[in-house]
Amino acid sequence: MAATSATMAVADVSSSSYSKTHLLKSSQISFLSNHLHKHRRCAFRPLPPTQYARISCSVAPNQVEAPIPIQAEDTKNKPECYGVFCLTYDLKAEEETKSWKKLINVAVSGAAGMISNHLLFKLAAGEVFGPDQPIALKLLGSERSIQALEGVAMELEDSLFPLLREVSIGIDPYEVFQDAEWALLIGAKPRGPGLERADLLDINGQIFAEQGKALNAVASRNVKVIVVGNPCNTNTLICLKNAPDIPAKNFHALTRLDENRAKCQLALKAGVFYDKVSNMTIWGNHSTTQVPDFLNARIDGVPVKEVIKDHKWLENEFTEIIQKRGGVLIKKWGRSSAASTAVSIVDAMKSLVTPTPEGDWFSTGVYTNGNPYGIAEDIVFSMPCRSKGDGDYELVKEIQFDDYLRNRIAKSEAELVAEKRCVAHLIGEGIGYCDIQEDTMLPGEM
């Protein structure tokens, strides 16, 4: 489905013609153009970009136009679109002159879950791509969640977002990921009592292996993938290994929530507002071995260690607060961070589509392939990155290390190498063998 929607514009209002703009599924175009041609003497003309089309109709001067009956046989039996998003609707006349950008297709898994319940509304409101960027949401659920997913789609309908042009729901990743330019992979089985980390790696690994294959088969060749479902670093590795036709560089494990948490705690300790904290790196795994880097972070442009003189607090309390923040929150809330995770996904996406402020950087879990820090290759490790705003990123080179930072990073690295051995069977590297010595936790498990 290269072009899943279209805008139809009918010629200007005048004594003999009138103007109307419609956005609709491409599958509706042929029905609508036939219909208009038969009944209203209309001409159909595609407009660049390809999903736009113009229809010009001649109408008698005093003829009143009835609404175009677009919800017709053409859309029934089309499970891919939901409710009002299967209909055409008029845009305001002045919008016709606006240069609308090409629709962006964003696929979201676990779309009926708690994080998505915040995220989808932020995406639809234009928080990532801006106020002139129409968006299509492709929501992946399962048999267990399909009713809930319909509920989500109903709430999206009722929100009347001007930028939200398509919503489709489905349970088959090969359909839902079709032409996806962004894939936000949130759905994963939560670790419950009695479930070993090795079992969790296997169960969720199966999900991400399948979704990697589906992305490889049907997504845009330049799709950007952000894996949120835990254990997110190793799930990302599994996903990218199962999608060999998509650049490994396009896959990210979400560690932005950890970065945001770290900035907040440093700001609190220093008594400044959190926008003063910059250059915050989270190294390693999104687990309790993660390393919030206070050596390279800055407060108001000054190294953190010069502002916060209590270095024991930085090494012990601060580090542990960030590593275990998710678990403390679960104890309070009775469920894991959902709203702040959604905010951090928006931040992570924005960091890739807007140029990184001069001198600053952001953290994201990326595939190690020629990194300048001496970290093991062929794992997914959170590191400091910069972007030109083109969806791509580069690693930051001017980073300092000391023994404390090196030792901590080595621990997280060892954990990820061990996790990789556990999932060897899911990444085409033989039989999985799990020898995780210390059963470390997800941040939310503490």
Ligand X SMILES: O=C([O-])CC(=O)C(=O)O
343-362 residues in contact with ligand X (CB under 6 A) are none
Question: Minimal CA–CA distance to 137: which of 96, 204, 184?
Answer: 184
The nearest distance, CB 336 to ligand X, in angstroms, is 4
CB contact at 8 A, 86 and 70: no
Pairing of the two strands 302-303 and 5-10: unpaired
23-62 residues in contact with ligand NDP (CB under 6 A) are none
In the chain, what's the furthest Cα-to-Cα distance?
83
How far apart CA 178 and CA 170 sit, in angstroms, is: 11
| Encoded amino acid at 437, one letter | Q
How far apart CA 23 and CA 51 sit, in angstroms, is: 9
118 carries an active-site annotation: no
Instruction: Give the one entry of ligand NDP, ligand X, none that residue 295 binds, where binding means its C-beta sits below a cut-off of 5 to 8 angstroms depending on kind.
Output: none
181-210 residues in contact with ligand NDP (CB under 6 A) are 186-190, 207
**Binding of ligand X by 443 (CB under 6 A):** yes
Buried b vs exposed e over 361-387: b needs ≥16 C-beta within 10 Å? bbbbbbbbeeeebebeeebbbbbbbbb
**Binding of ligand X by 262 (CB under 6 A):** no
| Encoded amino acid at 42, one letter | C
CB contact at 8 A, 178 and 172: no
**Binding of ligand X by 230 (CB under 6 A):** yes
126-155 residues in contact with ligand NDP (CB under 6 A) are 141-142, 144-145
Instruction: Give the one entry of ligand NDP, ligand X, none that residue 322 binds, where binding means its C-beta sits below a cut-off of 5 to 8 angstroms depending on kind.
Output: none
Instruction: Give the one entry of ligand X, ligand NDP, none that residue 445 binds, where binding means its C-beta sits below a cut-off of 5 to 8 angstroms depending on kind.
Output: ligand X
Question: Minimal CA–CA distance to 2: which of 31, 30, 22, 27?
Answer: 27
The nearest distance, CB 1 to ligand X, in angstroms, is 33
In this complex, which beta carbon is closest to ligand NDP, that of residue 70 or of residue 228? 228
Task: Give the binding-site size for ligand X (rule: CB under 6 A).
Answer: 9
Instruction: Give the one entry of ligand X, ligand NDP, none that residue 113 binds, where binding means its C-beta sits below a cut-off of 5 to 8 angstroms depending on kind.
Output: ligand NDP
325-354 residues in contact with ligand NDP (CB under 6 A) are 336-338, 341
The nearest distance, CB 444 to ligand X, in angstroms, is 2
213-252 residues in contact with ligand NDP (CB under 6 A) are 228-230, 232
Residues 6+ apart with CB under 8 A from 261: 321, 322, 325, 340
In this complex, which beta carbon is closest to ligand NDP, that of residue 86 or of residue 112? 112
How far apart CA 40 and CA 138 sit, in angstroms, is: 34
Residues 6+ apart with CB under 8 A from 384: 279, 281, 293, 296, 361, 362, 363, 395, 396, 399
The nearest distance, CB 254 to ligand X, in angstroms, is 9
In this complex, which beta carbon is closest to ligand NDP, that of residue 151 or of residue 374? 151
The nearest distance, CB 215 to ligand NDP, in angstroms, is 16
How far apart CA 213 and CA 198 sit, in angstroms, is: 22
Q: Which stretch binds ligand X (CB under 6 A): 69-77, 272-280, 355-363, 438-446?
A: 438-446
Which positions lie near ligand NDP, rule CB under 6 A?
110, 112-115, 141-142, 144-145, 186-190, 207, 228-230, 232, 254, 257, 286, 336-338, 341, 444
Which positions lie near ligand X, rule CB under 6 A?
230, 257, 326, 336-337, 442-445
- For the annotated catalytic residues, the residue numbers are 286
